[in-house]
Structure 1
Amino acid sequence: MQTYIAVDWGSTHLRAWHFEHGQCINTLNLPCGVTQIAPGEAPDVFTRHIAPWRTGNALPVVMAGMIGSEAGWRAVDYLPCPLSLDNLGERLCEVADNVWIVPGLKQELDGEYNVMRGEETQLLGAMQLAPAHCYVMPGTHSKWVGVEDGQVRRFDTVMTGELHHLLMQHSLIGKGLPPQVRDDAAFRHGLETGINTPSLVNRLFATRAAWVLGALAKTSVNDALSGLLIGAEVATLSRQYRPQQVTLVASEVLTPLYRQAFACLNITVVECAAQAAFLDGIRRINDARY
């Protein structure tokens, strides 16, 4: 099935792609994520912005992300791991005529719990585009995923992006700072510190102390903190997963930052563009239905 609509509906943004005979003919990117709209408003947003692409409601729509959460259109099940993602197309939830939401994944292992929504679709595409045993998916909540024999065996979540935002916007580390300027040297120093001392309990406040005492430019705190958090994430999770090679599923902004971190640990990186992975995942899910 090469004519369909793919939707990535997350917490902050709604992104959609209209495919006709395998070619993308329309795109949409709006700040209408599930946290940006009123409860119960998702169907109306869909009607205004996506439904006009459909022909008599016949065109299938496959949606993934937080639209399947309690804050979205409808709460859709989490599928338990271990799991083969090839089965995702058989477990979709229909919320309107030929409008489907992809289920998320959950992990309940030895008292540890984890969930993902949206990344499972991206992961399905990445497994075809860049096969690996370990996938790293940076973002607000970074995901590390272990795959064996085509099954998702385990995954971990690291709140790297959200921590960076909270610390810069709502803590003393970022309070009173001027507009930030890119500083590769500050990022590199923070990265090395995070890798060598991944326990951040005492390192976070040291970032504030550094700019208060003039050792770190006030315009460079953003990059220094980014390096520190990414370094700590990569060092900590690399010890758990012990990969010799990872497939990095990331945006153009985050890919070079994580590549530097893995280079410090001599871990080979294969890149996979996040959007390409998501669209390939949606395509495969949609194809599985026909």
Structure 2
Amino acid sequence: MDDRFIAVDWGTTNRRCYLLDGAGTVIETFRDDRGVLAVGQQGGGPEAFAAEVAAIRARLGDWPLVAAGMVGSQRGWALVPYLSCPASGGQVAGALHAIDARTWIVPGLSDPRGDVMRGEEVQLLGAVAAGLAPPDALLCQPGTHCKWARMEGGAVASFFTSMTGEMFALLRGHSLLAEFLNGPVADGPAFRAGVDASADGALLKALFGVRASALLGLRAVGDSAAYASGLLIGSDVRGAGVGAGREVHLLADPVLGALYTAAIAQCGGRSHLIDSHAAFVAGIVQIRTQIWSLARDC
């Protein structure tokens, strides 16, 4: 029996499609801009998503398909209820939404304290399943909305979201600080000064000081963006309780990974960078294996 299947990491603006075998070997993959917003702009609705999946199968083959991410949101193919934490890979697989006998959507997770995620849970579970992170660990997924997840026994025990990346984008594009935030953002003296300043806990005060320091010549205008980024990321890291000796496993691209690695080290912690694509593949294979197991038990 051929155990190949298609996995889709279907986000708001982009998606990545994989043709995999049951062992998790990537046979073929592609990425495009056909996120849920793009499908919605062309009419949306179940018929539009069904047509998208038909096109994916025309390209990768007529295989079973498991999709994760915003495709399960109110903007997506079907509104799939969140699964409450704590949640294991087996529980996620048991809560899949079946579009038909060969097509499923991963449910996403909620935290009882008031938080949600769609898509990130596959990477979190996969990081542990692949041995990229230990079963009991603190995982971080930097981005527009940074996710911090506590893993216990390989399950997602709890998580919270910080609007770190979105806040920086808003400040850079629409705030009083905008004209001062055109410089580069990279690990260096200005970024680390921002991380250091975040220890005061007075983030709003410090952000206004970004403009004032530039106007008074206390900091070069070109360093303002890196300093503001350090303030935000430093606040994010400290808010997650990262301190002396704390281990953090980062699912991040190299650019954000370098910034969070620097901030975590400055706060006394230690980071481990994980390949987020490898984690997604391992997570979706674990879910697919559970589908097979559930089908055999029926």
Q: TM-score range by the shorter chain?
A: 0.7 to 0.9
**Secondary structure, counterpart of 1:103 in structure 2:** coil
**Aligned CA-pair RMSD:** 2.4
Aligned equivalents of 2:51 and 2:244: distance in 1? 46
Corresponding residue for residue 53 of structure 1: 59
Identify unmatched segments of 5+ residues in structure 1.
Answer: none
Aligned equivalents of 2:142 and 2:20: distance in 1? 27
**Secondary structure, counterpart of 2:83 in structure 1:** strand
Corresponding residue for residue 256 of structure 2: 254
Aligned equivalents of 2:179 and 2:37: distance in 1? 25
- The 5 Å alignment of 1:205-224 reads 205-224=208-227
In 2 relative to 1, CA 153–54 (structure 1 residues): closer, same or farther, beyond 3 Å? Answer: same
Moved more, 155-164 or 212-221: 212-221
Aligned equivalents of 2:108 and 2:245: distance in 1? 25
Aligned equivalents of 1:250 and 1:277: distance in 2? 11
2:109 is the alignment partner of 1:105: yes
- The 5 Å alignment of 1:204-283 reads 204-238=207-241, 244-283=246-285
In 2 relative to 1, CA 91–181 (structure 1 residues): closer, same or farther, beyond 3 Å? Answer: closer
Corresponding residue for residue 4 of structure 1: 5
Q: Deviation string for 1:114-152 (max 9, x for gaps)?
A: 111111101011112211321112111111112223332
Q: Deviation string for 1:199-224 (max 9, x for gaps)?
A: 31211111122233333333333322
- The 5 Å alignment of 1:103-182 reads 103-108=107-112, 112-128=113-129, 129-131=132-134, 132-175=136-179, 178=182, 180=184, 182=186
Corresponding residue for residue 30 of structure 1: 32
- Provide the TM-score with structure 1 as the length reference: 0.88
In 2 relative to 1, CA 273–44 (structure 1 residues): closer, same or farther, beyond 3 Å? Answer: same
Aligned equivalents of 1:157 and 1:260: distance in 2? 20
- The 5 Å alignment of 1:174-213 reads 174-175=178-179, 178=182, 180=184, 182=186, 184-194=188-198, 196-213=199-216
More helix by share: 2
Aligned equivalents of 2:226 and 2:180: distance in 1? 16
Aligned equivalents of 1:253 and 1:64: distance in 2? 25
- Provide the TM-score with structure 2 as the length reference: 0.85
Corresponding residue for residue 66 of structure 1: 70
Cα contact 2:183–2:225 (8 A) shared by 1? no
**Secondary structure, counterpart of 1:254 in structure 2:** helix
Moved more, 215-224 or 163-172: 215-224
In 2 relative to 1, CA 277–23 (structure 1 residues): closer, same or farther, beyond 3 Å? Answer: closer
Identify unmatched segments of 5+ residues in structure 2.
Answer: 293-298
2:85 aligned to which of 77, 81, 85: 81
Matched residue type, 1:47: A
In 2 relative to 1, CA 178–289 (structure 1 residues): closer, same or farther, beyond 3 Å? Answer: closer
Q: Deviation string for 1:230-273 (max 9, x for gaps)?
A: 0001112116x997222222222211111111111222222211
Aligned equivalents of 1:86 and 1:284: distance in 2? 8
Cα contact 2:68–2:105 (8 A) shared by 1? yes
Aligned equivalents of 2:36 and 2:226: distance in 1? 29
**Secondary structure, counterpart of 1:36 in structure 2:** helix
Over the matched positions of the two proteins, sequence identity in percent amounts to 38
Moved more, 159-168 or 243-252: 243-252
Cα contact 2:180–2:225 (8 A) shared by 1? no
Cα contact 1:210–1:216 (8 A) shared by 2? yes
Cα contact 2:19–2:28 (8 A) shared by 1? yes
1:286 aligned to which of 272, 288, 293: 288
Cα contact 1:125–1:278 (8 A) shared by 2? yes
More strand by share: 1
Matched residue type, 1:141: H
Matched residue type, 2:17: A
Aligned equivalents of 2:221 and 2:4: distance in 1? 51
Cα contact 2:245–2:268 (8 A) shared by 1? no
Corresponding residue for residue 14 of structure 1: 15
